[in-house]
Structure 1
Amino acid sequence: MTDQVFIEGLECQAVIGVFEWEKQIRQTLVLDLQMDWDNRPAAASDDYQHALCYDTLSKAVTELVEQTPHELVETVAEKVAALILERFAVPRVRVRVAKPGAVANARTVGVCIERSQA
């Protein structure tokens, strides 16, 4: 499949980090999501029912990330990928989680994973 739906720069305010001071504050995580999705049925019918709703998906991801504290961006990436695969029946997803400002002389750091339906 070559069709994809993407969401870039999804900002979430999360309790994230291993240091004690990080567990007391919220920090910005920036997510980029890329999902395989057959867009032909939606395009042919011009019907929202056949589209992958990026608004609903963005809200679900934001809720997941902001609801529970995590120590590692790796954990956030895995949980986000699992949510998208399970709840939205996406066959394959690429999740990039960036933590801006985590390293003083880098714009951002993070992880990128790709997961598929089993």
Structure 2
Amino acid sequence: MVDSVLIEGLEVETVVGVYDWERRINQCLLVDLEMAWDNRVPGASDDVSDALDYAAVSERVTACLKGLQPKLLERGAEVLAGELQEVFGVTWLRLTLRKPGAVPAAQAVGVRIERGQR
């Protein structure tokens, strides 16, 4: 299967970082997701109940990262990937987690992981 569902540039405001000052403020994280999903069924039925609900996925991403408040992006990515696979039955995903402004000379820093089998 090569079909996928995308969510790109999802903004999540949460506590993130290792420094004391970072633990006292909210910062923006940007989330990009590509999730394997057989789109033939919803493509044929035109019924949202057959599709991967990207609104529900987006809400889950936001709730997970806000609740987790990770020190490291790596931790946030790992926990989030596991939760999405478990809750939504996604067999494979590629997740990019970016922290804009973390390095003054860079637009953003981040991590990208892939989990599961395509």
Task: Report the TM-score when normalising by structure 1.
Answer: 0.97
Give SS of 1:20's match. Answer: coil
Aligned twin of 2:65 = 65
**Corresponding residue number in structure 1 for 2:41:** 41
Structure-1 residue corresponding to 2:10: 10
Structure 1 residue ranges without an equivalent (≥5): none
Q: Which amino acid aligns with 1:32?
A: D
Structure 2 counterpart of 1:92: 92
Q: How much does 1:41 deviate?
A: 0.5
Whether 1:29 and 2:29 are equivalent positions in the alignment is yes
List per-residue Cα deviations over 1:38-67 (Å, max 9, x = no partner). 000101111111100000010011001112
- The residue identity in structure 1 corresponding to 2:40 is R
Q: Using the alignment, how far apart are the partners of 1:26 and 1:70 within structure 2?
A: 12
**What are the ranges of 5 or more consecutive residues in structure 2 without an aligned counterpart?**
none
Q: Percent identity?
A: 47
Quick one: which amino acid aligns to residue 86 of structure 2? E
Alignment of 1:74-93 (within 5 A): 74-93=74-93
Q: CA RMSD in A?
A: 0.8
Q: Which runs of 4+ in 1 moved over 3 A?
A: none
Residues 34-93 of structure 1, C-alpha deviations (whole Å, 9 max, x = no match): 000000010111111110000001001100111222100000101110111000001101
Secondary structure at the aligned position of 2:21 is classed as: helix
Q: TM-score, normalised by structure 2?
A: 0.97
**Alpha-carbon distance in 2 for matches of 1:68, 1:60:** 12
Report the Cα offset of residue 96 of structure 1: 0.2
1:55 correspondence with 2:49: no
Question: What is the total number of aligned residue pairs between the two structures?
Answer: 117
